[in-house]
Amino acid sequence: MAANSTPVPLLTPYKMGSFELSHRVVMPPMTRNRSYHNTPQPHAIEYYAQRATKGGFLISESTSASDISNGSPNMPGIWIEDQKEAWKPIVDSVHGKGGVFFCLNNFLIAWNAGRLSNSSLNNFLIAWNAVPDDGEYFRPTPKQLGANELPLIVNDFRIAAHNAIEAGFDGVEINSANSYIIDQFLNDQINDRTDEYGGTIENRCRLALEIIGSVMEEIGADRVGVKLSLFSEVHGKKDSNPEALSTYLASELTKLGVLYLHVFEPRDEPRCLKSTRKAFEGTLIASGGYNKTEGDEAIVESYADLVSFRRLFLANPDLPKRFEVNAPLNKHDRSTF
C-alpha cells in the first residue's frame, strides 16, 4: 500500500532537546510483569526492538529503584549491578534500530510503590500517611513515612537514574503519576500530612521537586522527563483543584529545565491539559486513549508536541509505519496483558 501523499502530522520530525525525533508517535511505559526475580529477561530484547524506529521515542516499562519499591511481582529493577547489566542488551537493541530510549522512573527511572505495594512483596509497608486502603492491595494499615525517611527515597531515585544511564538509556522518566508515591503526596484528598510535605500546593509538591531536582543533578536536566496524571483519581479520590496543582507544578518544572512532561488525560476530561501546556515550556507528551485522528489534531493545534499510544503500540509493533501507509490496525487482546 502506498504511503499517503499528504503529510501525516504525527509523522513530522520534532526536536526534543538534543534528541532529533523523526516522528511524534511515542511508545509509553507499559507494565509487563515478566522480569523474573526483578531481572530483565532476554525476551525483552525482541519486545522493544520490534517497536523501535529510527528517530522514534520509547519509554521502558515500570522499573523499581530499590528492593522495597516493587509494586507488583516480576517487575524489573535497576538497583543492583546484575539488573543494570541485564538492561544493556535491551537498550542496545533499541539503539541498534536508531531509537531514543528512556527508562521509566517508576521508577525507570525508578519508583517507590507506596500504598500500591502488595504486602506479600515487602517486609514492611510505607505510604505518605497511615490511612488504610480498602482495596485489594493494602489490607493492613501502612506505616507513615517520616520526614527523615524521605531523603532515602530521593536517594533511591538518584541512584536508579545513575544506573539507568550506565545501562545505556538516553534518559529517565520519573513517574509522578498513577497513584504511586509521588502522586500520593500531590493529591490534597489523599495527602493529610501536617508537616512541610502536606497542606499547601507548594508543600505537597515538595517531594516531587526534591526527587526531580536530585535526579537532574545526577544525570542532567536534558535527560529527565516527568510523568503526571493530576486530573485522575488516586484510589477513588481526585484533587480538589487539579488545574491549580498542574499549573504550579508545570511552572516549577519549567524553572528546573525538565526536558518533557508526559501527561495523562482521563477519558471523561479530554483536552484538560491546556493550562499545563501554557505553564510548561518544554516538550509536552499527551496520553489517554488517543487514536490516529485525535493525535494528528493535537499536533496540528499545538495542543501537544508528541502523543503516546499504549494499546495500539502493544498490538501493532510497527505502529508508525501503519500510520504512514494508513494500514489496518490490530485490536489488542486483553487476555494477554
Which carries the bigger pLDDT value, residue 37 or residue 56? Answer: 56
Q: Could you tell me which residues come within 8 angstroms of residue 108 by beta carbon, excluding any fewer than 6 positions away?
A: 29, 60, 61, 62, 63, 76, 78, 102, 160, 164, 169, 172, 173
Measured CA to CA, the distance from residue 74 to residue 60 in angstroms comes to 15
Give this prediction's pTM: 0.88
Give catalytic residues, as residue numbers.
Answer: 180
The three cell numbers locating residue 39:
531481572
Kindly report the CA angle at 47 between 262 and 52, in degrees rounded to 5? 60
Where do the H-state alpha helices sit in the chain?
Answer: 43-51, 81-96, 150-166, 181-186, 201-204, 206-219, 242-256, 274-279, 292-300, 311-315, 319-325
- Look at residues 306, 290, 43, 293 and name the one whose alpha carbon lies nearest to residue 173: 306
Q: What is the pLDDT of residue 277?
A: 97
| Contact by Cβ (8 Å): 137, 117 | yes
- The domain spans of the chain are 9-336
Least confidently predicted of 41-45, 292-296, 323-327: 41-45
Q: Report the greatest alpha carbon distance in the chain.
A: 61
Given pLDDT bands bounded at 50, 70 and 90, which one contains residue 191? Answer: very high
Given pLDDT bands bounded at 50, 70 and 90, which one contains residue 134? Answer: very low
Strongest mean pLDDT among 34-43, 105-114, 150-159: 150-159
- Is the confidence at residue 92, as pLDDT, over 90? yes
Coil, strand or helix: which one is 234?
A: strand
Across the range 148-158, mean pLDDT stands at: 91
Q: Could you tell me which residues come within 8 angstroms of residue 52 by beta carbon, excluding any fewer than 6 positions away?
A: 58, 93, 94, 96, 97, 98, 99, 101
Domain 9-336, CATH among 3.20.20.70, 3.30.750.24, 3.40.1190.20, 2.60.120.10: 3.20.20.70
pLDDT in tens, 268-314: 888 999 999 999 999 999 999 999 999 999 999 999 999 999 999 99
Q: What is the pLDDT of residue 5?
A: 59
What's the chain's average pLDDT?
86
- Is the confidence at residue 185, as pLDDT, over 70? yes
Q: What is the pLDDT of residue 2?
A: 47
For 272-277, which contacts have Cβ atoms below 8 Å and span 24 or more sequence positions? 272/231, 272/242, 272/243, 273/246, 273/303, 273/304, 274/303, 275/243, 275/246, 275/247, 275/250, 276/228, 276/246, 276/247, 276/250, 277/303, 277/304
DSSP state of 22: S
Across the range 253-281, mean pLDDT stands at: 95
- Is the confidence at residue 100, as pLDDT, over 50? yes
Bridge partner residues of 284 (DSSP): 261
Amino acid letter, 272: C
